Structure 1
Amino acid sequence: MKHMKQKRSYILLFVLVLLIGCKENSDQVIRFKMGLVDPENSNYGMGAKRISQEVSNATSGKIIIDVFGSGQLGNERDMYEGAQLGTVDIATIANPVLTSFIPEMAILDQPFLFETEEQAHNVIDGELGELIKQKALEQGIHIVGWMESGFRNCFSIRPIKNLSDFKNLKIRTMENATQIAVFESFGAIPTPMPATEQYTALQQRTIDAGENAIANVLANKYYEVVKNITLTRHQFVFIAIGLSDKAWNRIPDELKPVFVESVKEGANYQRALLSEANAEAEVELKEIGVTFYNIDRNELKNSASQKMVSFTNRIPKDWIDASKILN
């Protein structure tokens, strides 16, 4: 009889331990790693940290996002491919690089496409954004929001004041056929390379110039080797926030809507922060000796227009219609 009581006690204890273990597992914090090519002190890094904060608050700390800047998880292509393989949780990738995975996105690579930030936001947050999400999903990536590097300008070792100054200028571009064609039409020599290699290339004079948001020039300290910025505003660039399928499936179904909404809140914060950062960066860069130049954007646009025809002809009509920018 005593033996039977002991046996029942052991069984009850085993069940109790099992139940406690299940409860602990159900309460376990889900941690994700989010990669950026830019430093964590940049507006992109601060935007990513805001996303992490919004997600943590909305999920009562059940989901934590750790941010890794300066290419610690790889360049943009590496991160996207890593997310496809499930080795990267959250990738951030600029749309010109994403075009190499989703060719229809070349619609967004056209130069001088938008005149205002509002136009750009309406497109990416609308039907075109949904088309992109569906294509990415087919590749195992869940796009849950869009940050941005906004309007891009040229920064260079020698001044660029007019179209002729692009002649034989070696300029770093993203790995994007449309962007390469644009700078070729200006007479420049496009040199695709990861953003993480750009500073050293400028320092060693492997390239003469780069192109990005004004705030990016300050955050990455390119001003240490270049003293000229030309306000070309030649392209508006979005930064997709994409979860691997493996990471997405770790999020409980009841938390997925609030997770997505929180990411969007954080991304919207980064968009606003970028506008402020660009304005502040222009003031600061001028104070440390960087010279800003205006340029005839219509002349640049006319120079690029003929080369762009071959690219737009490849884009499906529904993508063009969804963009509402080529009509």
Structure 2
Amino acid sequence: MINGKRGFVFLGLVAVLTFFFGFVDESMAAKKYTLQLAGAYPSTGGTPRALATEKIKELIEAKSGGNITVNIYLDNQLGGDREILEGCQFGDISMVSQTTAPQVAFIPELAVFDIPMLFDDLDVARKTFTGPFRAELDEWYEKAGLKLLLFEPIYYRETTSSKALKKIDDFKGLKIRTMENEYHMAFWKALGANPTPLNFAELYVALQQRLVDAQENPYEVIWASKFYEVQKYLTNTNHIAFILSITMNKDIYDGMPDDYKAIIDESMKEASDFLFDLAKSKNDEMLASLEKVGMNVETPNAELKAELKKAAATVENMIRKNVGDGVVDSIIKASESAKK
């Protein structure tokens, strides 16, 4: 039996040691995170978007030594574009991968990326997004409670049609399927075409039955949807850059240890390079495949390109009214600087 005074000292020492070693154990035990990465696009087909999400998972898990697990949910498993972005804002979904189009309702400034003919090529677009303009992008997303992790131009929207589109008169009365997007529709109207919103699931049959004469999508979609079976002409209008973004709930990101944030940032940078290079390679492959199956590929001459830019100015004016001159001037200045 321990006497009173010595017992008191002993018990006090035990308490101190317990506290000390308990503290050390807790500090040395790395905190583990499980992050969800959701997207509304297909997981199959080996597309650059799907492969990039796999690359992100691989990089983050490897760099964190397994302390960060990334679970991928594509194919609308957690909802459509709007639902998953809302889920990310609320913190129910950690990360979301999607294009900018469905984000405009949450971040109005992103409408600037609906200005047609904004970038001469995807290399210019990429330089724009990695330059000083990136800080403005980050601010736009942060106002919506989101941390922007990746912002990569991977395709252009191109035009397929049942007739050649070589001059501006060829667009007159052209019934073209578009998304239900006021800016996209205004662009085609300015060209003299008849934009027709239509559910994508109905598009192949509509083209086959000549209910619409044309449609606009990246090569990947044209190839995967076999539009080459019902459309013989492909015009490289390069009118809208197709941008993939990956965002994270800002509170979740901010609450992670600094070394974990660094792992995520570094992984996203590597994934961006991987995605851009892969998309460029795939685009070249898909264009060659479309030509091989018989599509007639045209690139607009200087005269038609000038007409496309003239129609784009109509959309630019609309967006200036809706989001302000400052936002539009900023992206135009950044893209002009990126050309140098």
| TM-score exceeds 0.5 | yes
Superposed CA RMSD: 3.6
CA contact (8 A) 1:36 1:91 kept: no
- Distance (whole Å) between structure 2 residues aligned to residue 53 and residue 109 of structure 1: 32
Q: Which SS does the other structure have where 1:61 is aligned?
A: coil
- Distance (whole Å) between structure 2 residues aligned to residue 262 and residue 35 of structure 1: 18
TM-superposed CA distance for 1:242, in Å, is: 0.8
CA contact (8 A) 1:156 1:226 kept: yes
Matches within 5 A, 1:1-12: none
- Say if 2:205 is the partner of 1:203: yes
Aligned counterpart in structure 1 of residue 38 of structure 2, from 8, 23, 34 = 34
- Distance (whole Å) between structure 2 residues aligned to residue 71 and residue 148 of structure 1: 22
CA contact (8 A) 2:125 2:153 kept: no
Matches within 5 A, 1:114-263: 114-156=119-161, 159-192=164-197, 197-205=199-207, 208-245=213-250, 247-248=252-253, 251-263=256-268
CA contact (8 A) 1:99 1:176 kept: no
Aligned counterpart in structure 2 of residue 321 of structure 1, from 319, 324, 330 = 330
Which residue matches 1:265? 270
- Distance (whole Å) between structure 2 residues aligned to residue 234 and residue 157 of structure 1: 19
TM-superposed CA distance for 1:273, in Å, is: 0.8
Uncovered stretches (5+) of structure 2, i.e. residues with no partner: 2-10
Of all paired residues, the percent bearing the same amino acid is: 24
Greater mean alpha carbon deviation, residues 206-215 or residues 235-244: 206-215
- Distance (whole Å) between structure 1 residues aligned to residue 107 and residue 214 of structure 2: 27
Which residue matches 1:305? 313
Number of equivalenced pairs: 317
Note the alpha carbon deviations across 1:184-221, whole angstroms, 9 max, x for none: 2123333456xxx5243333456554323223322454
Q: Which SS does the other structure have where 1:53 is aligned?
A: helix
Q: Which SS does the other structure have where 1:267 is aligned?
A: helix
Which residue matches 1:78? 83
- Distance (whole Å) between structure 2 residues aligned to residue 105 and residue 305 of structure 1: 17
Q: Which SS does the other structure have where 2:79 is aligned?
A: coil
- Distance (whole Å) between structure 2 residues aligned to residue 169 and residue 91 of structure 1: 36
- Distance (whole Å) between structure 2 residues aligned to residue 279 and residue 81 of structure 1: 35
Uncovered stretches (5+) of structure 1, i.e. residues with no partner: 2-7
CA contact (8 A) 2:115 2:312 kept: no
Q: Which SS does the other structure have where 2:52 is aligned?
A: helix
Greater mean alpha carbon deviation, residues 283-292 or residues 260-269: 283-292
Structure number with greater Rg is: 2
- Distance (whole Å) between structure 2 residues aligned to residue 127 and residue 152 of structure 1: 26
TM-superposed CA distance for 1:245, in Å, is: 3.5
TM-superposed CA distance for 1:81, in Å, is: 2.1
Note the alpha carbon deviations across 1:144-167, whole angstroms, 9 max, x for none: 111333322113455544433434
Which residue matches 2:65? 60
- Distance (whole Å) between structure 1 residues aligned to residue 256 and residue 146 of structure 2: 14
TM-superposed CA distance for 1:177, in Å, is: 3.0
TM-superposed CA distance for 1:224, in Å, is: 4.8
Which residue matches 1:283? 288
- Distance (whole Å) between structure 2 residues aligned to residue 238 and residue 278 of structure 1: 14
CA separation of 1:227/1:250 partners in 2, compared to 1, >3 Å: closer, same or farther?
farther
Q: Which SS does the other structure have where 1:144 is aligned?
A: strand
TM-superposed CA distance for 1:182, in Å, is: 0.9
- Distance (whole Å) between structure 2 residues aligned to residue 63 and residue 165 of structure 1: 54
CA contact (8 A) 2:116 2:315 kept: no
